[in-house]
């Protein structure tokens, strides 16, 4: 059996903050698509319900469009409210997590790789996962590691590792894990 490779992770407050903020934006990107659709539908329903379009002559059906436009506007406000409240909570949690990591700076975090599984350990938890339940995605300079069928996510960047350790992690991921599109 091949010996496990242990890659230490070096805590950097700014890198950790940037990684977590990137992941928040990445997750909410899908919701912005939903917001764009709601704005388009609201504008369409407002136009069909309130503009006097003589050529269409919708009659009583325009009432449905009027009420529908208010529903879409309400949905837009709901999505915006969810975004801003989640953003505030998430950024507060990020700062709390960084403060906790700063206090535990003497404890080392690391990634352990072997043929059967990958283990990510930091001062607060240890997650071990077999390779067939592990996926990864590379977006810009960020490596998103999804473990336990996308239930647990870790964000890594090259500056968190020394020398060629990041390349070793990528090699293991290419060999034993699945890349998401």
Tokens representing 82? Answer: 């969810």
* Residues constituting the chain: 181
The answer for residues whose C-beta is within 8 angstroms of residue 113's C-beta and 6 or more apart is 4, 5, 6, 7, 119, 168, 169, 172
**Strand, helix or coil for residue 80:** helix
pLDDT tens track for 18-68: 999 999 999 898 888 999 999 999 999 888 877 766 656 667 777 888 889
What pairs with residue 139 in β-bridges?
Answer: 142
pLDDT at position 76 over 60? yes
Q: Which residues of 24-39 are buried (b: 16+ CB within 10 A; e: fewer)?
A: bebeeeeeeeebeebe
Which range of 47-51, 117-121, 147-151 scores highest in mean pLDDT? It is: 117-121
Mean pLDDT calculated for residue range 139-159:
88
């Amino acid at each position: 059996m091949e010996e496990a490779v242990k890659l230490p992770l070096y805590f950097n407050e700014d890198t950790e903050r940037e990684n977590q903020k990137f992941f928040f934006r990445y997750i909410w990107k899908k919701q912005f698509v939903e917001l764009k659709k709601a704005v388009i539908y609201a504008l369409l329903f407002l136009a069909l319900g309130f503009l006097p379009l003589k050529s269409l002559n919708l009659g009583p059906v325009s009432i449905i469009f009027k009420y529908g436009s208010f529903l879409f506007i309400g949905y837009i406000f709901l999505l915006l409210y969810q975004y801003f409240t989640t953003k505030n909570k998430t950024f507060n949690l990020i700062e709390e997590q960084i403060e906790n990591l700063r206090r535990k700076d003497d404890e080392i975090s690391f990634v352990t790789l072997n043929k059967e599984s990958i283990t990510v350990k930091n001062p607060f938890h240890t997650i071990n996962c077999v390779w067939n339940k592990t996926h990864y995605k590379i977006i810009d300079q960020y490596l998103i590691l999804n473990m336990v069928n996308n239930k647990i996510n870790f964000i890594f960047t090259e500056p968190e590792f020394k020398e060629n350790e990041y390349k070793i992690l990528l090699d293991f991921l290419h060999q034993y894990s699945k890349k998401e599109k």
